Amino acid sequence: MTQELTDLRNSILQGRYADALAIVDELEGMSKKAILRQIKSFLKILLIHLIKNHIEHQLTNS
């Protein structure tokens, strides 16, 4: 990500605004992907927790 920020800075300084906007779009896409990865990770943890609780509940009730 630091390379992208360096490229963004250089594009702005050199007046290449179309290139700068393309880099910003790319960074936004990367951010969305990171958010989706984080949500997926949280969902996996939640699912494991729910399965574990369900199994423990079944064992204690039997």
**What is the count of structural domains for the chain?**
1
Q: Report how far residue 10's alpha carbon sits from residue 20's, in angstroms, rounded to the nearest whole number.
A: 8
User: Could you give the 3-state DSSP secondary structure of residue 15?
Assistant: coil
Kindly report whether the global pTM for this prediction surpasses the value 0.85: no
Contact between residue 12 and residue 20 where contact means Cβ atoms under 8 Å apart: yes
For residue 62, pLDDT over 80 is answered with no
Residue type, 27: L
pLDDT greater at residue 11 or residue 1 = 11
Both tokens of residue 41?
Answer: 């990770």
- Domain extent for 36: 2-61
pLDDT digits (tens, 9 = 90+) for 25-42: 888 888 888 888 888 998
Position 31 scores a pLDDT of 81
